[in-house]
Amino acid sequence: DAGITQSPRHKVTETGTPVTLRCHQTENHRYMYWYRQDPGHGLRLIHYSYGVKDTDKGEVSDGYSVSRSKTEDFLLTLESATSSQTSVYFCAIGPAGTYEQYFGPGTRLTVT
Amino acid sequence: EDKVVQSPLSLVVHEGDTVTLNCSYEVTNFRSLLWYKQEKKAPTFLFMLTSSGIEKKSGRLSSILDKKELFSILNITATQTGDSAVYLCAVEKGNYQLIWGAGTKLIIKP
């Protein structure tokens, strides 16, 4: 597996609380992505980064923000968690010059 | 609107059978099509296809792309129970962003 870790791996939180998920890579890849995966929807891109401090929105970015202050870390923040954000969140990384993406183990988030 | 559609949504076959999974797409600025396998964890990369008519092959798995008809197929021959998984198709639409299909759930019965 590519050197990608996600933390926490599981989290239960209450509606209205902020939540931060962390993705850490040891591959020095330029691109990092946050996806959510829900039954019937496949993987949907939330935000992605193409370099330190360079980020852009994906197709389902509302209610989420990201930050990348170092090459190896990409943080996803749910500003005020809602039940609709209950999902499995995957981080992925990809080197420049190729479209392949390599996925982290995922974080299962439950918002009650 | 860009979209990737996979069919069938699910498929049950017996060990030893050959299966064909389909992926059709409507994506502006098509660059490449990728196949991934997802067991009970993160997706893992299988193939990337950029040119029509050139088959990619890895063991019992093979895939081909038709850019004129906007689809790809993934073939698995002599299936084994370890092939049971969700197979995901994705299309790169520019800026290294992927549009994903919902997946085909493949179950191989012994």
The yes-or-no verdict on residue A1 having pLDDT over 60 is: no
> Which tokens hold the place of B55?
């088959």
Which residues in B47-64 are b (16+ Cβ under 10 Å) and which e? bbbeeeeeebeeeebebb
Give the mean model confidence (pLDDT) for residues B1-27: 95
pLDDT, position A97: 75
Which of B31, B45, B90 lies nearest to residue A102, judging by beta carbons?
Answer: B45
Q: How confident is the model at residue B29 (pLDDT cuts 50, 70, 90)?
A: confident
Q: A10-13 and A107-111: which strand pairing?
A: parallel
Query: What is the per-residue pLDDT for B75?
Result: 98
pLDDT at residue B89, rounded to an integer: 96
Contacts of A50 in chain B (CB under 8 A): 95-96
- Mean pLDDT, residues B14-33: 94
pLDDT 10s digits, B92-101: 887 778 899 9
> Among candidates B6, B11, B13, B2, which has minimal Cα distance to B109?
B13
Burial of A95 (0-12, 13-18, 19+ CB in 10 A): middle
Predicted confidence (pLDDT) per residue in A54-91, tens digit: 999 998 999 999 999 999 999 999 999 999 999 999 99
Q: Are A29 and A95 in contact (CB under 8 A)?
A: yes
Do A42 and B101 count as a contact with CB atoms less than 8 A apart? yes
Does A100 contact B at CB distance below 8 Å?
Answer: yes
Q: Measured between CB atoms, does A31 come within 8 Å of chain B?
A: yes
- Name the band, by pLDDT with cuts 50, 70 and 90, for residue A110: very high
**Six token digits for residue B39:** 């067991």
Q: Which residues of B lie closer than 8 Å to A, measured between beta carbons?
A: 31-32, 34, 41-45, 48, 88, 90, 92, 95-98, 100-103
Asked whether B48 and A99 are in contact (CB, 8 A), the reply is yes
Which residue in A42, A100, A101 is closest to B102 by CB distance?
A42
What average pLDDT does this structure show over B27-40?
A: 91
Q: Which residue type does B44 have? A: T
Report CB contact under 8 Å: B96, A43. Answer: no
State the pLDDT at residue A2: 58
Provide mean pLDDT across the span A17-28: 97
Partners of B87 on chain A (C-beta within 8 Å) are none
Residue A80 DSSP label = S
Q: What is the mean pLDDT of chain A?
A: 94
